């Protein structure tokens, strides 16, 4: 009986590892196959002939290199901005007392659950009325602060001891100095996880760039990838599309692996509270 339970658990563990990873495996082997092998039905589960040619072609088919850099720029700037704005707002919500504070805070938190599709039309109108359609600033501007970051930072800043802040005030430290030189250094793990969350979110964000951008030289990598897919639907080009998909995924996978532990812990911290 015991042995059956153990065997079943081991089997379940195996599945829990295999099922999530199989599509990734398929992405990699499809990127490494040549056109002839891709046209084989049924498909081969291991490439009989490994070629890297698709990784060169993907940069010729669409401006994939500049798209990659666009994503670095868009995700990088948005992430930085979210970190700064969230620390400041989180500090106010955690450490200042004023009338209407909690109402304001929970109203902000409620926007965390708002699906972006609900406000897509007016957002498009607002940003294009500001003359920012089809621009980098237009892609980034609506996302330079978000409720999730504010919520996360407030939760962590609330744990910073009040005495520490009071002591700094008695020493004559300005409020700005308290935020950046006393509180922020204590938030290292929280900042790392917020940075990862934000970076992954902005790197993967598709609907908004799709709606606001027209010229391919400004496309982020996921948009270039969808364009690539529409040019090469035939199965013999699948290696090129898969190579593109792989390149587009590498940064988020690397970031995740580097900070996996912090990442998973911070979900535990924010996922369910109260």
Partner 1 sequence: MTVQTSHTARRGAAIAFLSPAMAVIVLFVAVPIALTFWISLHDWSMYTPLSQMTWRGLGNYADLLHSDDFLNALENTLVYVVIVLVTTVPLALALGMLLYFPKMAGKGVARAALFSTYVIPTVAIAIVWGALYAPDYGPLSQALGAVGIDSPAWLSDPQTALLSLGVFHVWQMTGYYTILVIAGLTQIPDDVYEAARIDGAGFWRQTFSVTLPLLRRTTTFIVLIAAINAIQVFDPVYILTQGGPAESTTVLSYAIQRAAFQNGMAGQASAMAFSLLLVLVAVAGVVLAAMRRRTAAEGRS
* Position 258 contacts partner 1 (CB under 8 A): no
- The most distant pair of C-alpha atoms in the chain lies apart, rounded to whole Å, by 75
- Determine contact, residues 242/89, Cβ cutoff 8 Å: no
What residues between 107 and 136 interact with partner 1 by CB under 8 A? 108, 111, 113-126
* Position 92 contacts partner 1 (CB under 8 A): yes
Extract the tokens encoding 180.
């950046």
* Position 161 contacts partner 1 (CB under 8 A): no
Of the two residues 164 and 207, which places its CB atom closer to partner 1 in the complex?
207
* Position 147 contacts partner 1 (CB under 8 A): yes
Of the two residues 12 and 52, which places its CB atom closer to partner 1 in the complex?
12
What residues between 39 and 68 interact with partner 1 by CB under 8 A? 39-43, 45
Compute the least distance from the CB of residue 188 to partner 1, in Å.
20
Compute the least distance from the CB of residue 239 to partner 1, in Å.
11
Buried b or exposed e, range 190-208, using 16+ CB within 10 angstroms:
bbbbbbbbbbbbbbebeeb
Residues 6+ apart with CB under 8 A from 35: 236, 237, 239
- Of 109, 110, 118, 116, the C-alpha closest to 139 is 116
In this chain, which stretch among 47-55, 105-113, 154-162, 185-193 interacts with partner 1, using CB under 8 A?
105-113
SS3 content of the chain, % helix, strand, coil (to 5): 80, 0, 20
> With the C-alpha atoms ordered 113, 117, 119, 123, is the resulting torsion angle positive or negative?
positive
Residue selected from 179, 190, 195, 240 as contacting partner 1 according to rule CB under 8 A: 179
Say how many residues make up the chain. Answer: 274
Q: What is the distance, to the nearest Å, from the Cα of residue 188 to the centroid of all Cα atoms in its chain?
A: 19
Of the two residues 50 and 253, which places its CB atom closer to partner 1 in the complex?
253
What residues between 2 and 31 interact with partner 1 by CB under 8 A? 9-10, 12-13, 16-17, 19-21, 23-24, 26-27, 30
Binding-site string for partner 1 from residue 204 to residue 233, where x marks contact by CB under 8 A and - marks none: x-xx--xx---------xx--xx--x----
């Amino acid at each position: 009986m015991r042995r059956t339970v153990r065997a079943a658990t081991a089997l379940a563990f195996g599945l829990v590892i295999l099922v999530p990873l199989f599509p990734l495996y398929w992405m990699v082997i499809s990127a490494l196959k040549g056109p002839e092998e891709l046209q084989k039905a049924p498909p081969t589960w291991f490439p009989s002939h490994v070629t890297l040619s698709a990784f060169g072609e993907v940069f010729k088919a669409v401006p994939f290199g500049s798209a990659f850099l666009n994503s670095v720029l868009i995700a990088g700037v948005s992430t930085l901005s979210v970190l700064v704005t969230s620390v400041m707002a989180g500090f106010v919500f955690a450490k200042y007392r004023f009338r209407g504070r909690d109402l304001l805070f929970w109203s902000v938190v409620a926007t965390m659950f708002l699906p972006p599709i609900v406000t897509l039309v007016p957002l498009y109108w607002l940003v294009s009325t500001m003359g920012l359609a089809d621009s980098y600033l237009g892609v980034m501007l609506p996302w330079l602060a978000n409720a999730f970051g504010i919520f996360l930072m407030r939760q962590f800043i609330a744990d910073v001891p009040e005495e520490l802040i009071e002591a700094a005030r008695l020493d004559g430290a300005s409020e700005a100095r308290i935020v950046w030189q006393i509180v922020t250094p204590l938030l290292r793990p929280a900042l790392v996880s917020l940075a990862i969350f934000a970076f992954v979110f902005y790197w993967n964000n598709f609907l908004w760039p799709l709606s606001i951008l027209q010229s391919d030289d400004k496309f982020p990598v996921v948009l270039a990838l969808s364009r690539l897919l529409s040019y090469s639907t035939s199965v013999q080009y699948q290696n090129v599309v898969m190579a593109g998909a792989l390149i587009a995924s590498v940064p988020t996978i690397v970031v995740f692996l580097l900070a996996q532990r912090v990442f998973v812990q911070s979900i535990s911290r924010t996922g369910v509270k109260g």
